[in-house]
Structure 1
Amino acid sequence: MYEISKELKEKVVQLNSTLLEKYKDFFNMDEYELRDFIDENIGKIIKIEKLSKDELNKCYKNGGIVGVDGSRNRVGGAYPHYVEIYQGLAKSTIYEESPIFKADYYTPLYLEGERDLLKKFEEEENKEEAIRDYKLSSIEVEVALEAVKEFNPYAIMMDGSLIRYDIECFDKWIELRQECERRNIVLIGVIKDIKTSIIGQNLIEEKQLDVKEFLYDREILYGLLKYGEIIKIEDKVAKKSKEGFTSIFMRSSEAPNIIGMDILDNQREYLDEMARLVLSLTPSSSRGVPLWLDIVDSQVKISDKMVEGLLGNYLDRQVFEKFFISERDKRTL
């Protein structure tokens, strides 16, 4: 049993008091007034229903849904003695037995193999981080593109915001986007962990909230939307609209947290349908993520034991021990 020190308890109590005081205006906001503000300044709050059986059958007959996710894990110690492994997976609801995997790795010990990417990101302040992000985003886009060509699905459901691919691997992303547009395949991103501050920024600008830092949309909307409600974010307040995306917030389960969804701006006619699809694929008792994406996530995930087993079995023992086993990993207590 771990023992918590008296000082640590006091620090946590102090943190609680500090946050309650700092954000007291937010905690005291009237729920109905906040909903009205969002409806007038951010986007309309709309109640949606799940797709009917006929509508779900239409999705199936037109190619089904492909879920796409990626995973990364790292083993080793401090720079440069580590290796990061990446894996991407695209999985069709129709062709379940034909998953598409792609993988890659990065280690500072072998930068000779990264010359093209080092040149590509030479202007970046943190070239290493840019390369690592590019590798993960790229394999996700690559498996999605292969799934488009192999399965010709009705829709592609990416795990995360679409703008991430636009930023991190634009060259490959634009190929996927154009291919989906050409084939009329609906492309969406489902965002589990929202990091935007659209509502908080507007609350401050409109003098509705007196805080120095923006509140994030995830805490403002926590418990505010009802199950099945969405917010269609107006282009005038959505930063993503400049990059060619339309977005919504939605409560897709009984859990009080909300998720986000992106869609290509020239596919916005499918926005309501895709929101209803996400709602249909999400168990009401879950944390709000479509079940198919959870399945893909579980199958693509690279665990610590998997990486250690992989490197332990396929790297020469002296290579593994000399380069990738940190002193911390050698501890016995």
Structure 2
Amino acid sequence: MTSIAMIEAARQRIGDQARRTPLLSSPFLDEIAGRKILVKAECLQRTGSFKFRGGWSAVSALDPDVRSRGVIAFSSGNHAQGVAHAAALHGVPSVIIMPADAPKIKRDNTRAFGAEVVLFDRAKDDRDALGARLASERQLTLIKPFDEPQVIAGQGTVGLEIAEQAAELGIQKADVLIPCGGGGLTSGIALALEAKAPGLTARPCEPEDFDDTTRSLKSGQIERNGRLAGSLCDAIITPQPGNITFPIMKALCGEGIVVTEEAALQAMVLAFTRLKIVLEPGGSVALAAALFRGNALSGDEVIVVASGGNVEPDVMRDALSRYA
């Protein structure tokens, strides 16, 4: 299981490979939300999302002989890019299994980082089985996107930074809203906050119709999504919370918050016009929750993780045409 010691060790291995991303704010967003919003801009991280942290953590933790044979991962794009870039920086090969409907920009970027991309149909194919088969055939180490202790540890470094930045601003109590797919980022941040800033509470945020974590936290057991495709928030669409991540979230997180796809697109536009950052739909759901689901929050301040910015140009153009 991932621990705060593993998160701190991951931070040491990552060193200056990952950026210490800023907390951004805007009085315009504060006015909409009715409280102070501080946005942790992981969209400015290497590869455009927090996933580089987990990718580097997992690749760097491997025994050198094992690592030299290469790694394999499955992802709709952000984990793919994070692992591919981390592998390239370590000088080892990577194979990335991606859904055929993943945004083109993510497929192209993953190949640009030197990975071999294998496509699958997310509505019909079993990506876990495909990954296991290729890993066995080629003697590659599988790096799962969220249900992997070293990946969780890498994502937890976001939480260490949030704890430090909140302390610098004198914030002792606040909700920390996090876009949530399988729960790697959410559980990693929750572990870091428990140890370093116990007054900050991790809150998973999800798009409507893909709220498996929110439902799981309510029922106390892992719940699956009814469908696995069909959302612009592709970056955080997973079948269900992880077997490793869910117990952590169940123990440490507050209630989940669900937002509409339209709210996520509006949040994208507001992030672009007011904070001057680019978010993808999945990466904007926590900001959407802060802006439009204030009834689910308490306190005068909220910290929001903007988890990724790898958006297709046509999606951004459409959002701007509708909401700018």
**Same fold, TM exceeding 0.5?**
no
Structure with greater strand percent: 1
- Highest Rg: 1 or 2? 1
When normalised by structure 2's length, the TM-score is 0.31
TM-score, structure 1 as length reference: 0.30
